[in-house]
Structure 1
């Protein structure tokens, strides 16, 4: 039986939940979050700080900076480090108002596995769109489906050409659920 995979996001419908802003460096400047969307190892010097954009109930996993950068408690970071050490990098971060340590999760793996035919709708950037740097990658993916046969041994990854999608294996999903992690939302892909 093939492994099942899920798109991981944070549950934005939790009443009274917090929202986190863009990571900042030690001088208070925004640290380029795009670095963490590439699906490759990143370099970070010094400890980053993540501001609380909207106060509320802290969650074990929050996609900060407009839903792009995973920030997690030690509980979530430990699961990922143990089960997917080759797929993620963990950077300690300070989250305003929180005494316990949090981690920025850099998903350091990209897999070319989107199933165009099985997905509801896919669109590619074209030369006439005026974005030569994006031509040939996805401009839109609706109803994302992947081909599990193309995933290989990856357990946590971003999809090639559509890096905003954060995918986890069934093993990771179950381990996070067993850990009782809050803020998680899974959708099978």
Structure 2
């Protein structure tokens, strides 16, 4: 694999489409749903910072280290958030799934596991990744629990790994799913999604 080309992935609840500058206004509205940028333990762009964040992600895509997506709700057509393949290692190949956020009103509705199923399926079954990684703030228990529910195993903790937006050093928890674990993880995600309405 030399690089990951921008792609559209469609699931039961969401469609992941290549991020574009014209997603800006819809993403601002999605972030306002719950004022997500005020959550200290995560990095959701402010309305004023959304254009710069889109530009940053598209710049990393040009460099080959990220493939960013806008997440669109199939039932309404509304854009509800963003997610990415990031820290792409094309030689292995290996990717991290991260920089993800969704509007507060869709939390707990199946959109996040649907998104993860799409990204994991493409990584393992099309790209041929031997492992897929997830990272989160040590203190972001909601995210850690969600990653563990996927079936990912904790690899370890990178202490004083990076600085948060307010300059405080953070510990980063690293999880991964290995290729041979993917069938069980896929079955678990499909079972979870079957519990939600069509």
TM-score normalised to structure 1 length = 0.25
1 or 2 for the larger relative contact order (CA 8 Å, sep ≥6)? Answer: 1
Indicate the structure (1 or 2) with the bigger Cα radius of gyration: 1
* Higher percent of residues as helix: 2
TM-score normalised to structure 2 length = 0.25
